[in-house]
């Protein structure tokens, strides 16, 4: 029964991707084309967007990691800095908040008549590579801070004591203790952020534009939305799938990035920074607090400009409710499917079949690599002649969102379940616990992890724009799509209000997430 | 009768050989140096390790084709015998059956001096207390074959004697066939009917 459920979950996930590609290829064939348009490879347009995709991903990753390091050091070496746990929660919020909220804030601050640039920065333009980099760094640098800070917390006290006893200079400590502990993490972080930025959609859609600032994912969207050129979209999708897959394999080989457990552990002994370094740490810490808060606080002046008498609250309330319902449904389905896809993986791990375990892992994670846009459009094209998509579109929004966030849920459930198996699978088998009886033992073990995995994937599902742009129903608009619509028509006050509501919901979930994580002891 | 018939097990590049029988209701203690394959033998009988050759039969029927959950075996491991995220009482609900089971648990807990620990979390118990709870559950389960891997290792000398006697009495009362790994000659003399020295 359990094994059957595992196979069913994996088959469900794989069939969605297979149907999406089948839909695209089938449509292409019905129009007299053989499939993907590979002549694109001879087009300079393609090489230009591929180059840009890689360049922006590489630069975003380097900048995020390099800028995060001194901040993580400030947190680590100056444990007396106030509100550090709040700062770490803010870092988490910045990483997982819906991108359109950030973009609204950035436009208010740095747009053509932005609060920070209007009047004194001549010829400034937020749109293009630098705008994309600013947004990507804002989203990913806080994530890198958490990862590096946690890794530094893993340096054993004994290493510092030994370094002190051997009278290491600060440079020697940096070289032989800190760098030695962090260098592998730098590589992993760089790879992980590069993959995220390579697949970035909303940021590039909002702040990019033109062949000079377009990524593969956005090019797929443009090929479908504006030209309805399926063969071109298919070729771009295959290439993106292949490159992301390659990057993913490379990053997996470097190991996984653990970023949730950034909680401070009680340290007995740490080298004391000099007075000058302490001052530098405090100034930097304060500065980063301000920088991270600025785009979020920038929503307030926008809201102040609202004409409340004319404002129709229902125009925001209904999307808020829709966002929550879609998010909760997608997150719940994703958790159940993630648990299911992990069953074959766990069984391979128990049997010591490492290659099979890797294969199951890849199959379970593959929706992370298949562009959400490709999945959406492929399924849209496949189901269009078969189902009334106007009536059932929102169901697809829920299901596809669930499919896309399954890898995130699986990634968090996996270590906890593998730990359970490592400690208890023999005991559970020996006690002849199977099916429901087994689940009743596993659920209390998983409770904390389930709660914070749910919060995390809920946040991701609530931020979706790509899937809604294809299947969404104007009568059932979600908050991110509403923000996109307001911003697209330069109604920045309304966009700010909708962004603030979404941000508030996300902040509440992040606080709950952090609390449940602490309770779970992870 | 439990028959270990010309059994060969490949373990870490070494081939381990076993060939012996245990009568129904007999308590066999097993000794031998570390790495000789004592735990591996119990794992093969319980179904956690595969045999390369030979057979393991219970009452004439081969156990090897059966899944772990289908074998008539109750096993105590060297560690991780209790789910630490569940209370001791919840842990004792697994594998135990019968209308009078609660009464039997309480009686056994009283003898093993762990009555006060039943409502606690395993994390709040000492190693010895956890081990006695696990011994209690393993012996009270209905399976006729009982495999005990160093059950008394964490016990002090006084509780060790109490546990020795309780294990022997309970196994004999339930007509259990017991294989017990130990490094202590005292356990061999006090609990076992026969000793098997593995080389």
Give the CATH number for residue A211.
1.10.3720.10
- State the first-to-last Cα distance of chain B, in angstroms, to the nearest integer: 23
In chain B, how long is the greatest CA-to-CA distance? Answer: 48
> Best mutation site among B42, B44, B69 for testing chain A: the one with the most A CBs within 10 Å?
B69
Q: What is the pLDDT, as a whole number, of residue A35?
A: 67
Token readout for A124 is 């400034």
**Nearest Cα to Cα of residue A25 among A470, A396, A378:** A378
Q: What is the pLDDT, as a whole number, of residue A522?
A: 46
Its domain, for residue B40, covers 2-197
SS3 content of chain B, % helix, strand, coil (to 5): 35, 25, 40
Give the CATH number for residue B165.
3.40.50.300
Q: Which residues of B touch A (CB under 8 A)?
A: 46-48, 68-69, 73-75, 77, 80-83, 85-86, 94-95
Region of poorest pLDDT, from B43-47, B93-97, B168-172: B93-97
Q: Angle formed by the axes of helices A129-153 and A84-96, to 10°?
A: 140
Q: Angle formed by the axes of helices A314-351 and A354-365, to 10°?
A: 170
Spell out which residues of chain B touch residue A430, defining contact as CB-CB under 8 Å.
46, 68, 73-75, 77
Q: How far apart are CA A212 and CA A502, in angstroms?
A: 31
Residues ≥6 apart with Cβ < 8 Å to B97: B142
User: DSSP labels for A451-466?
Assistant: HHHHHHHHHHHHT--H
Report yes or no on A215 lying in a domain.
yes
Of A423, A429, A433, the CB nearest to B80: A423
pLDDT in tens, A471-484: 888 888 999 999 88
**Nearest Cα to Cα of residue A503 among A204, A135, A93:** A93
Q: How far apart are CA A213 and CA A126, in angstroms?
A: 12
Report yes or no on A27 lying in a domain.
no
Domain total of chain B: 1
Task: State the residue for tokens 């359970």.
Answer: A420
Q: Do B69 and A426 touch (CB under 8 A)?
A: no
Q: Do A427 and B83 touch (CB under 8 A)?
A: yes
Task: State the residue for tokens 């010309």.
Answer: B6
Q: How far apart are CA A95 and CA B51, in angstroms?
A: 51
Q: B151 vs chain A: nearest CA distance in angstroms?
A: 15
Q: Do B69 and A444 touch (CB under 8 A)?
A: no
DSSP code for B179: E
Q: How far apart are CA A94 and CA A241, in angstroms?
A: 27
Mean pLDDT of the region B62-69: 91
Burial of A73-112, coded b for 16+ CB within 10 Å and e otherwise, reads bbbbbbeebeebeebbbbbbbbbbbbbbbbbbbbbbbbbe
pLDDT value at A274 more than 60: yes
Report yes or no on A24 lying in a domain.
no
Report yes or no on A365 lying in a domain.
yes
Q: B138 vs chain A: nearest CA distance in angstroms?
A: 9
pLDDT in tens, A24-40: 777 766 666 656 777 77
Q: How far apart are CA A366 and CA B80, in angstroms?
A: 34
Q: Does A227 touch chain B (CB under 8 A)?
A: no
pLDDT value at B178 more than 90: yes
- State the first-to-last Cα distance of chain A, in angstroms, to the nearest integer: 30
pLDDT in tens, A172-188: 888 888 888 888 888 88
Q: What is the interface pTM, i.e. ipTM, of the complex?
A: 0.76
Token readout for A316 is 């925001």
Q: Which tops the pLDDT comparison, A473 or B110?
A: B110
Mean pLDDT of the region A52-69: 95
B146 to chain A: closest CA residue: A430
Residue A254: band (very low, low, confident or very high) from pLDDT cuts 50, 70, 90: low
Backbone angles phi, psi at B98, to 5 degrees: 115, 150
Q: What is the pLDDT, as a whole number, of residue B43?
A: 92
Q: Do A441 and B48 touch (CB under 8 A)?
A: no
Q: How far apart are CA A492 and CA A483, in angstroms?
A: 9
B43 to chain A: closest CA residue: A426
Report yes or no on A29 lying in a domain.
no
User: DSSP labels for B54-73?
Assistant: EEEEETTEESTTS-GGGSSE
Percent of chain A residues past pLDDT 90, beyond the cut: 27
Residues ≥6 apart with Cβ < 8 Å to A59: A129, A133
Task: State the residue for tokens 């630098």.
Answer: A130
Of A424, A426, A433, the CB nearest to B48: A426
Q: Do A432 and B69 touch (CB under 8 A)?
A: yes
pTM of the model: 0.77
- Residue A503 and residue A101 in contact, taking contact as beta carbons nearer than 8 Å: yes
**Nearest Cα to Cα of residue A270 among A178, A161, A154:** A161
Long-range contacts of B46-52 (CB under 8 A, 24+ apart): B46/A426, B46/A430, B46/B71, B46/B73, B46/B75, B46/B147, B47/A429, B47/B71, B47/B73, B48/A426, B48/A429, B49/B9, B49/B11, B50/B9, B51/B7, B51/B8, B51/B9, B52/B8, B52/B9, B52/B10, B52/B15
Mean pLDDT of the region B114-130: 92
Token readout for B84 is 């630490």
Q: B135 vs chain A: nearest CA distance in angstroms?
A: 13
pLDDT value at B61 more than 80: yes
Backbone angles phi, psi at A224, to 5 degrees: -85, -45
β-bridge mates for residue B15, sequence order:
B10
Q: What is the pLDDT, as a whole number, of residue A312?
A: 81
Q: What is the pLDDT, as a whole number, of residue A321?
A: 95
**Nearest Cα to Cα of residue A410 among A363, A476, A364, A445:** A364
Spell out which residues of chain A touch residue B81, defining contact as CB-CB under 8 Å.
427
Mean pLDDT of the region B123-143: 93
Q: How far apart are CA B147 and CA A184, in angstroms?
A: 45
How many Cβ pairs closer than 8 A exist between chain A and B? 39
pLDDT in tens, A100-147: 888 888 888 888 777 787 766 677 778 889 899 999 999 999 999 998
Q: A357 vs chain B: nearest CA distance in angstroms?
A: 19
Backbone angles phi, psi at B197, to 5 degrees: -100, 115
Residues ≥6 apart with Cβ < 8 Å to A124: A110, A112, A114, A117
Token readout for A154 is 């893993």
A437 to chain B: closest CA residue: B94
Q: How far apart are CA A40 and CA A233, in angstroms?
A: 10
Q: A433 vs chain B: nearest CA distance in angstroms?
A: 8
Q: Do B83 and A429 touch (CB under 8 A)?
A: no
Domain total of chain A: 1
Q: Do B94 and A433 touch (CB under 8 A)?
A: yes
Mean pLDDT, all residues of chain A: 84
DSSP code for A35: S
Report yes or no on A79 lying in a domain.
yes
Query: How big is the CA angle at A336 (ends A444 and A257), to the nearest 5 degrees?
Result: 80
Q: What is the pLDDT, as a whole number, of residue A520?
A: 57
Of B77, B81, B85, the CB nearest to A444: B85
Q: Does A432 touch chain B (CB under 8 A)?
A: yes
Q: Which tops the pLDDT comparison, A358 or A29?
A: A358
Spell out which residues of chain A touch residue B92, defining contact as CB-CB under 8 Å.
none
- Maximum mean pLDDT: which of A211-225, B81-95, B177-191: B177-191
Q: Does A439 touch chain B (CB under 8 A)?
A: no
Q: What is the pLDDT, as a whole number, of residue A141?
A: 95
pLDDT in tens, A360-382: 888 888 877 777 777 887 888 88
Q: Does A423 touch chain B (CB under 8 A)?
A: yes
- Residue B177 and residue B20 in contact, taking contact as beta carbons nearer than 8 Å: no
Residues ≥6 apart with Cβ < 8 Å to B114: B129, B132, B133, B136
């Amino acid at each position: 029964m359990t094994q059957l459920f595992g196979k069913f979950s994996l088959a469900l996930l794989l069939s969605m991707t297979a149907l999406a590609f089948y839909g695209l290829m089938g449509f292409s064939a019905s129009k007299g084309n053989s499939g993907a348009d590979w002549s694109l490879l001879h087009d300079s347009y393609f090489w230009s967007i591929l180059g840009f995709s890689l360049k922006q991903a590489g630069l975003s990753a380097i900048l995020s990691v390099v800028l995060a390091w001194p901040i993580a050091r400030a947190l680590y070496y100056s444990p007396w800095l106030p509100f550090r746990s709040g700062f770490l929660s803010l870092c988490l919020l910045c990483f997982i908040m819906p991108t359109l909220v950030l973009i609204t804030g950035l436009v208010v601050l740095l747009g053509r008549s932005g609060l920070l640039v209007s009047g004194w920065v001549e010829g400034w333009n937020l749109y293009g590579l630098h705008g994309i980099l600013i947004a990507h760094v804002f989203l990913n640098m806080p994530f890198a801070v958490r990862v590096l800070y946690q890794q530094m917390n893993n340096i054993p006290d004994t290493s510092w004591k030994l370094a002190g006893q051997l009278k290491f200079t600060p440079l020697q400590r940096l070289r032989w203790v800190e760098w030695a502990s962090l260098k592998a993490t730098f590589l992993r972080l760089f790879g992980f952020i590069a993959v995220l930025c390579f697949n970035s959609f909303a940021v590039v859609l909002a702040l990019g534009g033109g062949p000079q600032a377009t990524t593969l994912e956005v090019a797929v969207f443009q090929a479908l939305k504006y030209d309805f050129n399926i063969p071109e979209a298919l070729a771009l999708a295959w290439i993106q799938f292949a490159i992301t897959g390659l990057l993913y394999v490379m990053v997996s080989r470097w190991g996984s990035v653990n970023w949730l457990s950034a909680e401070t552990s009680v340290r007995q002994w740490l080298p004391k920074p000099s007075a000058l370094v302490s001052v530098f740490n405090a100034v930097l810490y304060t500065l980063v607090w301000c920088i991270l808060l600025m785009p979020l606080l920038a929503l307030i002046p926008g809201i102040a400009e609202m004409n409340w008498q004319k404002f129709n609250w229902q125009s925001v309330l209904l999307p808020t409710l829709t966002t929550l319902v879609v998010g909760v449904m997608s997150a719940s389905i994703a958790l159940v499917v993630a648990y299911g896809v992990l069953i074959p993986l766990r069984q391979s791990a128990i049997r010591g079949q490492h290659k099979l375990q890797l294969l199951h892992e890849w199959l379970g994670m593959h929706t992370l690599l298949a562009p959400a846009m490709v999945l959406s459009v492929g399924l849209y094209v496949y189901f269009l002649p078969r189902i009334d998509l106007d009536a059932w579109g929102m169901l697809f929004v829920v299901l596809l969102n669930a499919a896309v966030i399954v890898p995130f849920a699986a990634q968090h459930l996996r270590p906890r379940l593998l730990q359970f198996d490592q400690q208890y699978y023999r005991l559970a088998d020996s006690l002849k616990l199977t099916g429901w009886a087994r689940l009743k033992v596993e659920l209390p073990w998983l409770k904390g992890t389930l709660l914070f995995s749910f919060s995390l994937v809920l946040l991701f599902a609530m931020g979706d724009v790509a899937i809604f742009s294809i299947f969404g129903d104007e009568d059932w608009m979600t908050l991110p799509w509403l923000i996109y619509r307001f911003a697209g028509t330069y109604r920045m006050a309304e966009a700010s209000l909708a962004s603030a509501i979404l941000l508030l919901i996300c902040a509440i979930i992040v606080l709950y997430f952090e609390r449940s994580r602490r309770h779970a002891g992870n | 009768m439990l028959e270990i018939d010309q059994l060969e097990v490949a373990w870490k590049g070494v081939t381990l050989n076993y060939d012996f029988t245990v009568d129904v209701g007999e308590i066999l203690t097993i000794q031998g140096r570390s790495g000789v394959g004592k735990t591996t033998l119990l794992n093969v009988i319980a179904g956690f390790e595969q045999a390369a050759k030979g057979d393991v039969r219970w009452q004439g029927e081969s156990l090897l084709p059966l899944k772990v959950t289908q074998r008539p075996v109750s096993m105590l491991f060297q560690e991780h015998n209790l789910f630490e995220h569940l209370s001791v009482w919840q842990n004792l609900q697994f594998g135990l059956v019968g209308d009078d089971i609660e009464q039997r648990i309480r009686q056994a807990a009283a003898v093993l001096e762990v009555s006060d620990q039943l409502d606690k979390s395993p994390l709040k118990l000492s190693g010895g207390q956890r081990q006695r709870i696990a011994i209690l559950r393993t012996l009270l389960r209905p399976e006729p074959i009982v495999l005990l891997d160093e059950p008394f290792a964490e016990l002090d000398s006084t509780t060790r004697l109490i546990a020795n006697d309780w294990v022997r009495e309970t196994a004999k009362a339930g007509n259990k066939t017991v294989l017990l790994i130990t490094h202590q000659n005292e356990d061999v003399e006090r609990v076992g009917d026969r000793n098997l020295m593995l080389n």
